[in-house]
Amino acid sequence: MTLETMPLSKALNAGLRKAMEDDPKVLLMGEDIGKLGGVFRVTEHLQRDFGDRRVLDTPLAESGIVGTAIGLAMTGFRPVIEIQFDGFVFPAFDQITTQLAKLTNRHEGALSMPIVIRIPYGGHIGAVEHHQESPEAYFAHTPGLRVVSPSTPNDAYWMMQEAIASNDPVIFMEPKSRYWVKGEVELDASAVPLHASRVVRTGSDVTLVGHGAMVTTLLQAAALAEAEGTSCEVVDVRSLSPIDYEPILNSVRKTGRMVYVQEAQGFTSIGSEVAATVMERAFYALEAPVLRVSGYDTPFPPAKLEGAYLPDADRILEAVDRSLAY
């Protein structure tokens, strides 16, 4: 097994590079992704190595970028789009939800839309308005779109390649606060299926579930809980649409308790959906209500207040204590 340690941003870069080497129909599009290599340098050196006909710097027009990618996909290409920041995706929302998501169904399956839309999302970087949002539920709510979010460099490397290989459109949510955090990447291993949830820490008392950057926070909370005598199992959802429920349900049947944690607002969110499904499918295994810890139901605050807005280990442990108190 070949292991290499790299930050998540470089793992994404390596995944993109491998996909471009394997398939000449893969091309990249986005604002400042060429010579600059993207704001977060995820596409660094790819234009140098593959040329400006496969790594295209686009105008600042997200709707136009998505519309162009749809046309390219119709002619056999596999475009990968970068949306520079999460809050910038909304000018393209109509193209994504009313065109891209529906075209395959509109053509009764005869037309594929192999497009990946990369969206850096979430907080923890002290940015300004429109640069720290969590819009994943909008896309998971839309039939015809697949939505995934890696939490580790290894997942980033493999999930990017699997997303590009998909014949359906994939919204690829990249937790920007994890871009610079290093981890081991198995360069020649078998990939975990794109839409598989995964237990990343075993435990017996409470199941902690989340996605993206929150998985690291869950692991931190689980370590603190263990020091206090509570055993927490941690499940990384990885795929937000479709959701692989079996690892979650199996864990809940073992522990009898569950807490879902997310950066996004709690109202009508991924956490809401998972909580409802667990209540439906594992009700008799539950010893306490499913609890949620999330961002608050307000716009994302100024950077100096993000620490009070985003879930942290203390808020998770408080929910664990409430769950155990039932």
| Domain CATH number, residue 301 | 3.40.50.920
Can you tell me the distance from the alpha carbon of 268 to that of 137, in angstroms, rounded to the nearest whole number? 8
Domain-terminating residue out of 186, 207, 229: 186
- For residue 191, is it within any domain? no
Q: What is the pLDDT of residue 189?
A: 78
- For residue 192, is it within any domain? no
One domain, residues 147 and 210: no
Q: Is the pTM of this model over 0.75?
A: yes
Residue corresponding to tokens 């790594």: 55
Kindly state the tokens that stand for 204. 């017996």
| CATH code of residue 155 | 3.40.50.970
Average pLDDT over residues 93-114: 96
Contact 82, 2 (CB under 8 A): no
Q: Is the pLDDT of residue 1 over 90?
A: no
Give the phi and the psi of residue 85 in degrees, each rounded to 5. Answer: -140, 155
Q: Is the pLDDT of residue 190 over 80?
A: no
Which 8-state DSSP code applies to residue 235?
E
One domain, residues 172 and 263: no
One domain, residues 53 and 154: yes
Report pLDDT digits (tens) over 274-308: 999 999 999 999 999 999 999 999 998 888 888 89
- Please measure the distance between the N-terminal and C-terminal CA atoms of the chain and give it in whole angstroms: 46
Report the mean per-residue pLDDT for the chain.
Answer: 95
Contact 18, 187 (CB under 8 A): no
- For residue 276, is it within any domain? yes
Catalytic residue, from 45, 124, 131, 141: name it.
131
| 131 is known as an active-site residue | yes
- Structural domain of 65: 3-186
Domain-terminating residue out of 158, 186, 214: 186
Q: Is the pLDDT of residue 130 over 80?
A: no
Report pLDDT digits (tens) over 146-185: 999 999 999 999 999 999 999 999 999 999 999 999 999 9
- For residue 247, is it within any domain? yes
Q: What is the pLDDT of residue 181?
A: 95
One domain, residues 166 and 215: no
Domain-terminating residue out of 165, 186, 207: 186
- For residue 230, is it within any domain? yes
Considering its fold, how many domains does the chain have in total?
A: 2
One domain, residues 55 and 181: yes
- For residue 269, is it within any domain? yes
One domain, residues 157 and 247: no
